Structure 1
Amino acid sequence: MDKLYAPTTIRDIKNRYGFKLSKSLGQNFLTDKNIIDKIIEQSFISKKDLVIEIGPGIGVLTAAAAEAAGKVVSIEIDHNLIPILKETLHEYDNITIVNQDIMKTNLHEIMEQNHEINGQKIEGVKIIGNLPYYITTPIIMKILEDGVKADSITIMLQKEVADRIKAQPGTKAYGALSVAVQYYCTVSHVASAPKEIFIPQPKVDSTVIRLDIRKEKPVLLHNEEAFFAVIKAGFGQRRKTLLNSLTGVYGLSKEEILAILNTTGIDPSRRAETLRIEEFAELANTIFPST
């Protein structure tokens, strides 16, 4: 078969199978080999690794991953793509296609079922994918909150969302998503992907980032729920001062929040977007001083 990423191949497959790209599933197929290569290279995949791919499409990234990995499990929600994938990936014996919604998929089970490669225990788990824009954040947070024991997540996503994930305190893009993802991961930029390299062409540019899942969290928390409650409240009304935005968290009054802020030495007139992750942790630990 011709190169899977070639526009002519994509058009031929669509015509032969009568396949219609689904806007509701956010289907945009990648046509740039350089980006494909960068995703594989920057995922640091080896023959001793299991790769879990989200949304294989017609198998462009899947085939490249299969060349580098010991095993690939690709999770595809669209049943219309399953016969296409069986054709495009037929030469690979180390790929399993799962016709399932990633949001309803137990990745722990998939990892348990694929914990060996040719009788040898797998050494690493790398998650990759070209994520549909409409559900990017829920997918990322599901993986992280479920405590999936992967090494990294290398994903293509909308540039704006990638900018928010990478953002640092004091910037406009910095928000609850930035703090949440950076609590679980370190973030690296892999590649920029202009909208012109997709079929069909989306309205916005994309970015590839790698999230290396931390073995140890960057802050020690007494209560993780309190940490995320403080973040949510702070950014929920981001134009308000911390004194106002945090009032009501766990039923605490303005006077109680003021006392907590004074205890931590954090100026009550600051806004959430100026706080470092360590300061959010200090606030949460002051609200919940013990385990």
Structure 2
Amino acid sequence: MTSYSFSEPAKKHLGQNFLHDRSVIAKIVQAVNPKPGDHLVEIGPGQGAITFPLLERHGEMTVIEFDRDLVAPLAEAARAHGTLKLIHRDVLQVDFTALAAEDAREDADGPNRLRLVGNLPYNLSS
């Protein structure tokens, strides 16, 4: 098994800013508070700071990552935490309606909706 690490610095031209503060990460995970049946989708998982704790609590999620240098390390590291569906694409090119339709689960209130999570780069969110 190949060992991957996230040794590359944040790419400022992509607007990257990786979370490292565990107390902030814990507050985000607590605020998301995933429930059974949720279809979690994280935009820009980066080095997995939010991804891995959410995977440990929820067991599965989808992430959308644009940076090709983060795709393989993220996929490899996620195996220890849960089931990760990784989409390597610019989030602005993702069809969220199709992504939601892939998840046919329903609960008492009807079809589950996507729950979006992310530490979005400023240049994307603006």
1:101 to 69, 84, 90: 90
Bigger Rg, which one: 1
What is aligned with 1:85? 74
Tell me, in whole angstroms, the C-alpha distance in 1 between the residues paired with 2:118 and 2:63.
9
Matched residues, percent identical?
A: 28
Please state how far the C-alpha of 1:20 moved relative to its aligned partner: 4.4
CA contact (8 A) 2:62 2:87 kept: yes
Please state how far the C-alpha of 1:109 moved relative to its aligned partner: 1.0
Structure 2, unaligned stretches of length 5 or more?
Answer: none
Matched, 1:35 2:24: yes
1:131 to 105, 120, 125: 120
Please state how far the C-alpha of 1:68 moved relative to its aligned partner: 2.6
Cα distance change on mapping 1:99 and 1:69 into 2, 3 Å = same
Show CA shifts across 1:168-227 (max 9, x none).
Answer: xxxxxxxxxxxxxxxxxxxxxxxxxxxxxxxxxxxxxxxxxxxxxxxxxxxxxxxxxxxx
What is aligned with 2:101? 112
CA contact (8 A) 2:41 2:115 kept: yes
CA contact (8 A) 1:57 1:76 kept: yes
* 1:1-291 matched pairs, under 5 angstroms: 13-14=6-7, 19-69=8-58, 71-116=60-105, 123-137=112-126
CA contact (8 A) 1:47 1:70 kept: no
Cα distance change on mapping 1:84 and 1:93 into 2, 3 Å = same
RMSD between superposed Cα atoms in Å: 2.1
CA contact (8 A) 1:48 1:70 kept: no
Please state how far the C-alpha of 1:30 moved relative to its aligned partner: 0.6
Show CA shifts across 1:87-115 (max 9, x none).
Answer: 22122442111001011111111111133
Higher helix share: 1
Task: Tell me the TM-score normalised to structure 1 length.
Answer: 0.38
CA contact (8 A) 2:66 2:88 kept: yes
The SS at the match of 2:6 is: helix
CA contact (8 A) 1:72 1:96 kept: yes
Structure 1, unaligned stretches of length 5 or more?
Answer: 1-11, 138-291
CA contact (8 A) 1:49 1:124 kept: yes
The SS at the match of 1:34 is: helix
Task: Tell me the TM-score normalised to structure 2 length.
Answer: 0.82
Query: What is the one-letter code of the residue matched to 1:97?
Result: L
Cα distance change on mapping 1:90 and 1:122 into 2, 3 Å = farther
Please state how far the C-alpha of 1:60 moved relative to its aligned partner: 1.4
The SS at the match of 1:64 is: helix
Tell me, in whole angstroms, the C-alpha distance in 2 between the residues paired with 1:74 and 1:31.
19
Alignment length, in residue pairs? Answer: 119
